[in-house]
A and B are shown apart, each in its own frame.
Chain A
Amino acid sequence: MSSHATATLDHHNDPTTSTGIPNKKLLMWAFLASDCMFFGTLISTHMIYRLHPPPGNPDPRAVFDIPLTSFSTFILLMSSLMMALAVNAIQKGNVRSMRFSLLTTIFFGLIFLGCQVYEFSHFVHDKGLTISNSILGSTFYTLTGTHGLHVLIGVIWLTAMYFYSFTGRVTEKQAIDVESMGLYWHFVDIVWIVIFTVVYLLEYL
């Protein structure tokens, strides 16, 4: 057995790049900055049309189900925790722990998506709110639907990484790949933090 100690990798610095930042991480941060602007426009559009709703526009308070949305918000927050723990695990070379955390993140992500699907279905069939029959429906479904699509892409990515970890090619040296994926997942979470407050909670004031 080798007696030399394995040096701990520095996961926050890369001396081979001109910025000192790993290229994959820099790319992901640049993408997230652009995605900020993308969601900013969607949230702005919803808020603008809530300033002066046209006559006959449905009352969001009669449509929204705060207990369900609160539950899905909590689930997404917990998925963010599990994602952070997955990154923490792989940065310590613990692939098994990373797999467990990834699986839990996927599970919570699927629960969130399930809640979204149920919510949309309930709004359409029971509340009569569709994407085309009101301004509220158009802005609401476009915003939350786009967010849901981001969550779905994240779940697919997480699942792919989970199964890829079984090939033995995911080690501490590839932690940057898991971390980049984690950045995307956390971004999806922080967007929901904003959406939950602006779209749901502010309607009840």
Chain B
Amino acid sequence: MSQATAPAHPGEHHAEESKFWVYVQIAMLLAVITGVEIVAIGLPFSKWLLVTSLVILSVVKFLFVIFYFMHLRWDKLFCTILFFIGLVLAGGTAWALMLLFGVEDSKPLTYEEAASISAPADVRFIS
């Protein structure tokens, strides 16, 4: 078990008090952003604009939670680096897979397309 933490500066007590209202305000902001996202999917704008908007709004919500609710803003930078290592690896993997499976050649063949390709007689096509 880690040792008891050292005494802090007196000024931090006031900062702890104001965190209460910061948390409440951020929660209200997150709720509003969620509402905006739900409304946005029904708006008659282009798909790329809406997708970009939704992604940006989600990233904003994500960052508010990790930096304020999860205290990254007040903790040592190493915590941020550690979390972002996992986040970047996960995001990078997801992005790479989407690129890989998004190309036309990755599109699954239909049964007819597969059957039209010349193949050895002992190859069976599963429909």
- Does the CB pair B50–A205 fall under 8 Å? yes
Q: Select which of A10, A48, A81 is within 8 A of B6 by beta carbon.
A: A10
- Does the CB pair A84–B79 fall under 8 Å? no
Distance between Cα atoms of A40 and B85 in the complex (Å):
13
B94 beta carbon closer than 8 Å to chain A: yes
- Does the CB pair A70–B108 fall under 8 Å? no
Classify chain A's interface size. 35 or more
Q: Select which of B5, B26, B71, B108 is within 8 A of A52 by beta carbon.
A: B108
Please judge, given known A-B contacts A8-B13, A194-B62, whether A40 and B23 are in contact too, CB under 8 Å: no
- Does the CB pair A10–B82 fall under 8 Å? no
Distance between Cα atoms of A32 and B74 in the complex (Å):
18
Distance between Cα atoms of A88 and B97 in the complex (Å):
40
Classify chain B's interface size. 35 or more
**Chain B interface: which of A17-25, A110-118, A157-165?**
A17-25
Given the complex, which residues of A lie within 8 Å of B62, measured CB to CB? 190, 193-194
Given the complex, which residues of B lie within 8 Å of A179, measured CB to CB? 71
Given the complex, which residues of A lie within 8 Å of B7, measured CB to CB? 7-10
**Segment 56-81 of B: residues with Cβ below 8 Å from A:** 57-58, 61-62, 65-66, 68-71, 74-76, 78-79
- Does the CB pair A80–B2 fall under 8 Å? no
Interface residues of B: mostly helix, strand, loop or mixed? Answer: helix
Given the complex, which residues of A lie within 8 Å of B94, measured CB to CB? 40, 43-44, 47
- Does the CB pair A83–B110 fall under 8 Å? no
Distance between Cα atoms of A202 and B91 in the complex (Å):
17
Distance between Cα atoms of A55 and B107 in the complex (Å):
12
* Chain A minimum-CB-distance residue to B30: A77
- Does the CB pair B13–A33 fall under 8 Å? no
Please judge, given known A-B contacts A9-B4, A14-B2, whether A88 and B19 are in contact too, CB under 8 Å: yes
Report the minimum CB–CB distance from A131 to chain B (whole Å): 21
Report the minimum CB–CB distance from B9 to chain A (whole Å): 8
* Chain B minimum-CB-distance residue to A5: B10
Report the minimum CB–CB distance from A138 to chain B (whole Å): 15
Given the complex, which residues of A lie within 8 Å of B16, measured CB to CB? 8, 88, 91-92
11 contacting pairs across A/B (C-beta < 8 A): A8-B16, A9-B5, A24-B2, A70-B34, A81-B23, A81-B69, A88-B20, A182-B69, A190-B62, A201-B54, A204-B42
Known: A22-B2, A78-B27, A85-B20. 9 other contacts (CB 8 A): A8-B13, A19-B76, A21-B79, A25-B75, A40-B94, A51-B101, A51-B102, A88-B19, A197-B57
- Chain A positions within 8 Å of B, measured between CB atoms, are 7-17, 19-26, 29-30, 32-37, 39-41, 43-44, 47-48, 51-52, 54-55, 66, 70, 73-74, 77-78, 80-81, 83-85, 87-88, 91-92, 173, 176, 179, 182-183, 186-187, 189-190, 193-194, 196-197, 201-202, 204-205
- Chain B positions within 8 Å of A, measured between CB atoms, are 2-8, 10, 12-13, 16, 19-20, 23-24, 26-27, 30-31, 34, 37-38, 41-42, 47, 50-51, 54-55, 57-58, 61-62, 65-66, 68-71, 74-76, 78-79, 82-83, 85-87, 89-91, 93-94, 97-98, 101-102, 106-108, 110
